Amino acid sequence: MQTGLICFELIAKINQINVDLRTVVREYGITDEEIPKEELVKIIRNFEFKAKIKQIQPELLESKYPLPAIALLKDNSCMAILKIDTQNKKMLVFPPIEKNPKELTFEEFEEISTGEIIILSHKTFNSQIKFGFKWFFNEIMTYKRVIAEVMLGSFIIQLFGLITPLFTQVILDKVIVHRSMTTLDVLAFAFVAVMIFEFLLNVSRKYIFVHTACKIDAKLGAKLFKHLFNLPFVYFESRKVGNIIARVRELDQIRNFITDKSVSLIIDLFFSTVFVVIMFFYSMKLTFVVLGFVALIAILYVTITPELRKRLEDKFQMGAQSNSYLVESVTGIQTVKSLAIEGSMQRKWEDYLGDYVKSGFKLSNMGNIASAISGLFQKAMTICILYFGVKLVIDNKMTIGQLIAFQMFAGQFTGPILRLVNLWNEFQQALLGVDRLGDILNHPIEIQSSKLITLPQLQGSVKFDNISFKYSVNTPNVLENLSFDIKPGMSVGIVGRSGSGKSTVTKLIQRLYLTNEGAIYVDEVDIRHMNPLWLRSNIGVVLQ
Beta-ladder partners of 79: 71
Q: Which listed CATH number (3.40.140.10, 3.90.1720.10, 3.30.710.10, 3.90.70.10) goes with 3-126?
A: 3.90.70.10
pTM: 0.58
pLDDT of residue 123: 59
Which residues of the chain have a pLDDT value below 70?
1, 16, 122-133, 135-136, 139-140, 154, 158, 161, 172-173, 175-178, 187, 205, 258-268, 421-422, 425, 447-453, 473, 544
Q: How far apart, in whole angstroms, are the C-alpha atoms of residue 162 and residue 305?
A: 33
Q: Where in the chain is the domain with CATH 3.40.50.300?
A: 462-537
Q: How far apart, in whole angstroms, are the C-alpha atoms of residue 223 and residue 366?
A: 36
The conformational region for residue 124 under phi > 0 = left, psi -120 to 50 = alpha, else beta, is: alpha
Q: Where in the chain is the domain with CATH 3.90.70.10?
A: 3-126
Write the CA distances from 457 to 18, 44, 390, 522, integer angstroms.
Answer: 24, 33, 92, 11
pLDDT of residue 485: 92
Tell the CATH superfamily of the 462-537 domain. P-loop containing nucleotide triphosphate hydrolases (3.40.50.300)
Q: Where in the chain is the domain with CATH 1.20.1560.10?
A: 133-441
**What residues have CB less than 8 Å from 326, skipping those under 6 apart?**
242, 349
pLDDT of residue 127: 44
Share of the chain above pLDDT 70, in %: 87
What are the φ and ψ backbone dihedral angles of 463, each rounded to 5 degrees?
-130, 125
What is the amino acid identity at position 383? I
Cβ neighbours, 10 Å, residue 328: 12
* Burial per residue of 125-144, b for 16 or more beta-carbon CB atoms within 10 angstroms, e otherwise: beeeeebbeebbeebbeebe
Alpha helices (runs of H) in 461-522, residue ranges in sequence order: 502-509
Using one digit for the tens of pLDDT, what is the confidence trace for 138-168?
766 777 777 777 777 767 776 776 777 777 7
CATH number assigned to the domain covering 133-441: 1.20.1560.10
Q: What's the start-to-end Cα distance of the chain, in Å? A: 42
Cis ω for the linkage preceding 68 (within 30 of 0): yes
Angle between helices 144-160 and 181-229 (to 10 degrees): 150
pLDDT of residue 451: 57
DSSP structural state of residue 511: T
pLDDT of residue 504: 87
